[in-house]
Amino acid sequence: MTGCCRPETLEDALSILSRQGAQVLAGGTDWMVKHGQQGPHGGPVLYIAELAELRQIAVHGGEIHIGAACTLTELLESPLVPDCLKQPLAQMASPAIRNIATIGGNLCNASPAADALPMLSAMDAMLSLRSHKAEERLPAEDFLLAPGKPRLAQGQLLVEIHVPLSPKWDCVYRKVGLRRANSLSKVSFCALSDKKAGYVQDVRIAFGAVAPRVVRSREAEKRILSSGHPLTDDQIQAIAAEYGKLLKPIDDARSSRAYRREVSLRLLKWYLREGMNA
């Protein structure tokens, strides 16, 4: 029989993690699929969904701070959360699951198909990781080491996501799946642009579900900005070739490697040709 710890404060939770190596549970929408009726292996369960310190949404110093135990519904209903981040959240799961599933759980499940991670990576979000003795901040795009392996050391807990609020991005998000919601992504594509006087000053592009980690290339983004606008067909083909080297899709039950690659590059070319200048 598995024991369950239900701490009253974040410090208590971190202390338990440091001593017992408990498995963390919040919304449990992914956790229950993994463990089912057999229960987890390797220690007790640490239930953190009701910790007040992990349920806050607030603005500090030009960033929005999002507690890791905030549900997707809470983020969608908050006037503080940027619309760009709400776009992938709105297409995740079903309303009933969004009422329970947490943003931290979506990240810590460490799936390459996690819908929130590409957008957070494109927005240069930082993750706050805490242990009983220390705290560190990590770029969101570096959080996924490999499928199923988040960048969490023993005793560490994801406590907050910090998202810069400036600039005001023009945002494009596309999710390709069997259904618009309540299905895992075959491909996810997000692109942000910052325009002043009709000219693109900054651009960010990220792909999900097409490699072991989020695909984002700052070198390619610089090339897009330095190539002038509108881009020529030759320039678009060259930039697509750069991204093509980074895409490492797989064949699985949801889709084929060839389909994922083709759709990803088509979305990219469409954005460079039309979406970025809309």
Contacts (Cβ under 8 Å, ≥6 apart) of 108: 24, 68, 150, 152, 158
> Is 11 among the domain residues?
no
Residue-range definition of the domain harbouring residue 225: 170-277
> Is 68 among the domain residues?
no
> Is 175 among the domain residues?
yes
> Is 5 among the domain residues?
no
Q: How many domains does the chain have?
A: 1
- Whichever domain contains 236, its CATH number is 3.30.390.50
**Alpha-carbon dihedral of residues 161, 138, 86, 108, nearest 10 degrees?**
-80
> Is 255 among the domain residues?
yes
> Is 193 among the domain residues?
yes
> Is 267 among the domain residues?
yes
> Is 229 among the domain residues?
yes
Strand pairing report for 23-25 and 45-47: parallel
Residue-wise pLDDT tens for the chain (278 aa)? 468 899 999 999 999 999 877 889 999 887 666 665 455 555 789 999 999 999 999 999 999 999 999 999 999 999 999 999 999 999 998 999 999 999 999 999 999 999 999 999 999 999 999 999 899 999 999 999 999 999 999 999 999 999 999 888 999 999 998 876 677 899 999 999 999 877 899 999 999 999 999 999 999 999 999 998 899 999 999 999 999 999 999 999 889 999 999 999 999 999 999 999 87
Cis preceding-peptide flag for 7 (omega within 30 of 0): no
